[in-house]
Amino acid sequence: MSNITIHAIFDDEVPLLASAKTLRSNGIRIKDVFSPFPVHGLDEVIGLPRTWIAICAFIYGLTGLSLATLMMWYMMIHDWPTDIGGKPSFAYFMNVPAFIPITFESTVLCAAHGMAITFYLRCWLVPGAKPKNPDPRTTDDKFMMVIETKEENRSNLEAMLRKDGAIEINNNNFKYRN
Amino acid sequence: MNNETYTFTNKTRNFTFALMAIGLISIIAGFAQPSPEDQHTRIWANLLINGYFFMGIGLLATFFMALQYVAEVAWSVAVKRVYEAVSCYLPVGASIMFLLILAGQFHFHHLWQWMDPAVTDKTSPKYDALIAHKHTWLNPAFFWTRTIAYLVIWNLFQRGFRNRSLEEDLQGGTAIHYKNMGKGALFLVFFAVTSSTSAWDWMMSLDVHWFSTMYGWYAFSGMWISAMTTIMLTVLFLKRKGYLPQVNQSHIHDIGKWMFAVSFLWSYLWFCQFMLIWYTNIPEEIVYFHDRLAKYGYMGLMWTVFFMNFAFPMVLLMSRDAKRNYYFLVIVGTIILIGHWLDVYDMVMPATVKGDHQLGWIEIGTCMGFVGLLIFVVHKSLAKAPLTVQKHPYLDESLHHQY
């Protein structure tokens, strides 16, 4: 008996959520869901672990903050102290209010770009990457659930999906990579 | 729909009475204290701090209400009665403000230096050219026209919103909702101007030789965050007592986001005002911060305000879980409220009592009295109507609010 991949299409988020709950309560693992917009609560229902992106963002932010501080300390205090508007330039802390906007901007820049780049790399959304979406309709108005199962469970699973409102169930051989 | 009403228990009522008694004793003690030339500047300045700070909470709750109507916000309908009740403090706070300014006009106190007619009289030894130059704006007739216009019109809007909301409970339909939207938009336009001008008139003119174009927004954002925090704490109190069963974690989270965001708005304006003035270092502008940081010794207070109103809320409210946690929110909310009270203290005291400032039992006692008054008025208004609006068009959507 071989493994098969089932693609169940829904036309609304409500039956999708309901169906995902039924499958999970029956112990069936959902490999992934494709949807045209983020469905609130879905990540918990299909049992995705919590994202680390917030922690990454914090680390990128700290990096940006340190880099900006280092840069300004080197330029304005260490290498070439400049008297601007009579402000003391002997030590970093004496002039710190003037440095805050740059520190802030650099923190935001690094946190935002770091997050975006991490996201792209993690999802492998790079130039020349093969599309991973098995059905373009999921970018418009359809929702698709991907389930990997054994051939012998297929009829049982299909009945369950139909009951919860799947409008279409396919078993195609799209090369699904994660 | 759930038409449960809040019961203002005797225990809570007595607690607010105790606070108000402490406040009254502090005020009387403040006036009884010997003071140079019998001016009692310390206690008058205290009354102004509290009068302004607490009126701001009621006022910005009214603003928030108008904002929700105009933006047709659905999620907040579940807690609508709470911010409506907080806005009911506005008439009380406005009356106190009015009496304080009236006392200044009749020279019971001299918090506003420009109210003394001698300073604009060329023959007088007290003549002050800079104040005389501002006479077009700061003259009693124009000043009183403005003051009365702000207070009366704000109160009329607040009363209108409240009455229409109670009427909507009986009547239903969408007519009242659309009327509220129109009135809300009018209020926002009026408030866009008067939030700044009232801050210039009552607060910035304490430092009459100085001006800042950012002052109005700075004062406005400080009042806004205090109002959002008061709304949050009232919601949490009611949840704790088992009221508001329809308010879920997502509603709390959203009010928490407001607290977080408005903290940043305040920090941004507070810091920009400071940094631009500090950096350019022009004598007529720097005088404000020179008084505070160098001359009269408010350096410690300004750092405290920075940490309480920016650093703590930022670090403590950043994560999603914190905005959904009762204890976190109560602790951060208390820090923010105290921090913003201290911020108003920092607006008023250096201009009035100058170097003679102290944060003693008179200050704390007066503040406690006003806290008692605020809780009393808000809870009385909460008890007057069902805790959930009955027939708001977006009620159903708000009950299903989930994020």
Burial (CB < 10 A; 0-12, 13-18, 19+), residue B14, is exposed
Chain B: nearest CA to A10, how far in angstroms? 22
| Closest Cβ opposite residue B279 in set A40, A54, A98 | A98
Please report where in the chains the tokens 């009026």 appear, as a residue: B190
Phi first, then psi: give them for residue B375, nearest 5 degrees.
Answer: -60, -40
Q: pLDDT tens across B109-121, in order?
A: 999 999 999 998 8
On whether any CB of chain B is under 8 Å from the CB of A175, the answer is: no
Q: pLDDT tens across A26-66, in order?
A: 888 888 899 999 888 888 888 888 888 989 999 999 999 99
Percent of chain B with pLDDT over 70: 100
On whether any CB of chain B is under 8 Å from the CB of A86, the answer is: yes
Is 50 exceeded by the pLDDT of residue B129?
yes
B319 CB neighbours in chain A (<8 A) are 54
Question: Domain locations in chain A?
Answer: 3-49+131-170, 53-122
Q: pLDDT tens across B59-110, in order?
A: 999 999 999 999 999 999 999 999 999 999 999 999 999 999 999 999 999 9
| DSSP annotation string for B11-78 | HHHHHHHHHHHHHHHHHHHHHHS--GGG--HHHHHHHHHHHHHHHHHHHHHHHHHHHHHHTT-SGGGG
- Chain-centre distance for alpha carbon A125: 11
- Which amino acid is it at B236? L
- Say yes or no for a CB contact (<8 Å) between B278 and A97: yes
Query: Does a structural domain hold residue B403?
Result: no
Mean pLDDT of B288-297: 93
3-state SS assignment for residue B135: coil
Q: Which residues, listed in sequence order, are joined to residue B53 by a DSSP beta bridge?
A: none
A40 CB neighbours in chain B (<8 A) are 402-403
3-state SS assignment for residue B388: coil
| Closest Cβ opposite residue A97 in set B275, B319, B402 | B275
Burial (CB < 10 A; 0-12, 13-18, 19+), residue A154, is middle
Question: What is the signed CA dihedral for A143, A145, A146, A148, rounded to 10 degrees?
Answer: -160
Query: Does a structural domain hold residue B401?
Result: no
Is 70 exceeded by the pLDDT of residue B44?
yes
Number of domain units in chain B: 1
Helix-helix angle B361-384:B41-70, to 10 degrees: 30
Q: What's the per-residue H, E or C state across chain A?
A: CCEEEEEEEECCHHHHHHHHHHHHHCCCCCCEEECCCCCCCHHHHCCCCCCCHHHHHHHHHHHHHHHHHHHHHHHHHHHCCCCCCCCCCCCHHHHHHHHHHHHHHHHHHHHHHHHHHHHHHHCCCCCCCCCCCCCHHHHCCCEEEEEEEEHHHHHHHHHHHHHCCCCEEECCCCCCCC
Picking from B59, B378, B342, B353, the residue whose alpha carbon sits closest to that of residue B198 is B59
Q: Which two tokens stand for residue B164?
A: 């229409």
For residue A31, CA distances in Å to A28, A48, A131, B20, B389 come to 10, 10, 17, 62, 43
In angstroms, rounded to a whole number, what is the distance separating the alpha carbons of residues B96 and B374? 12
Q: pLDDT tens across A123-136, in order?
A: 888 998 887 788 88
On whether any CB of chain B is under 8 Å from the CB of A41, the answer is: yes
Is 70 exceeded by the pLDDT of residue A177?
no
Q: pLDDT confidence of A178, banded at 50, 70, 90?
A: very low
> Hey, how many other C-beta atoms are within 10 angstroms of the C-beta on B363?
22
Handedness of CA B199, B340, B81, B90 (dihedral sign): negative
Q: Which two tokens stand for residue B231?
A: 């709304």
Query: Does a structural domain hold residue B203?
Result: yes
A85 CB neighbours in chain B (<8 A) are 279-281
Q: Which two tokens stand for residue B379?
A: 């809870």
Picking from B223, B301, B209, the residue whose alpha carbon sits closest to that of residue B269 is B223
- Say yes or no for a CB contact (<8 Å) between A85 and B281: yes
Q: pLDDT confidence of A174, banded at 50, 70, 90?
A: low
Look at phi and psi of residue A85 and say left if phi exceeds 0, alpha if psi is from -120 to 50, else beta: left
Is 70 exceeded by the pLDDT of residue A176?
no
B281 CB neighbours in chain A (<8 A) are 85-86
Residue B378's pLDDT is 97
For residue B55, CA distances in Å to A68, B61, B98, B299 come to 41, 10, 11, 27
> Hey, how many other C-beta atoms are within 10 angstroms of the C-beta on A114?
19
Closest residue, chain A, to B402 (C-alpha): A40
Q: pLDDT confidence of B162, banded at 50, 70, 90?
A: very high
In angstroms, rounded to a whole number, what is the distance separating the alpha carbons of residues B379 and B234? 9
Closest residue, chain A, to B403 (C-alpha): A40
Mean pLDDT of B189-217: 95
ipTM score for this prediction: 0.73
In angstroms, rounded to a whole number, what is the distance separating the alpha carbons of residues B292 and B273? 14
In angstroms, rounded to a whole number, what is the distance separating the alpha carbons of residues B138 and B130? 11
Is 90 exceeded by the pLDDT of residue B287?
yes
Residue B375's pLDDT is 97
Q: pLDDT tens across B315-351, in order?
A: 899 888 899 999 999 999 999 999 999 999 999 999 9
In angstroms, rounded to a whole number, what is the distance separating the alpha carbons of residues B81 and B379? 11
Query: Does a structural domain hold residue B5?
Result: no
B275 CB neighbours in chain A (<8 A) are 97-98, 100-101
- Chain-centre distance for alpha carbon A17: 19
Domain A3-49+131-170 sits in CATH at 3.30.70.120
Look at phi and psi of residue B244 and say left if phi exceeds 0, alpha if psi is from -120 to 50, else beta: left
Q: pLDDT confidence of A170, banded at 50, 70, 90?
A: confident
Which segment, A8-12, B39-43, B314-318, B372-376, is predicted with the most confidence on average?
A: B372-376
User: Which residues span the domain enclosing B248?
Assistant: 10-390
Query: Does a structural domain hold residue B165?
Result: yes
- Say yes or no for a CB contact (<8 Å) between A87 and B279: yes
Q: pLDDT confidence of A91, banded at 50, 70, 90?
A: confident
For residues B168 and B176, the answer to whether their CB atoms sit within 8 Å is: yes
Which residues neighbour B214 within 8 Å (Cβ) at sequence distance 6 or greater?
B269, B272, B273, B276
B278 CB neighbours in chain A (<8 A) are 97
Residue-averaged pLDDT of chain B: 94
- Which amino acid is it at A118? T
